[in-house]
């Protein structure tokens, strides 16, 4: 039983942009939250 999440190329590009624009290291939880907010928009 696997709950693996598969990210699209767009998801990866979004996360890279988030990391670049943050100016500081982000936690995994912050990245997950950013993806969740993006999916609600």
pLDDT at 1: 58
The DSSP 8-state label assigned to residue 27 in this structure reads -
The three-class DSSP label of residue 17 is helix
Q: Which residues of 5-35 are buried (b: 16+ CB within 10 A; e: fewer)?
A: eeeeeeeeebbeeeeeeeeeeeeeeeeeebb
pTM of the model: 0.79
pLDDT tens for each residue of 1-41:
578 889 999 999 999 999 999 999 999 999 999 999 998 87
């Amino acid at each position: 039983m696997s709950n693996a999440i598969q990210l699209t190329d767009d998801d990866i590009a979004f996360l890279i942009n988030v990391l670049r624009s943050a100016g500081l290291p982000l936690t995994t939880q912050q990245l997950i939250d950013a993806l969740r907010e993006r999916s609600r928009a």
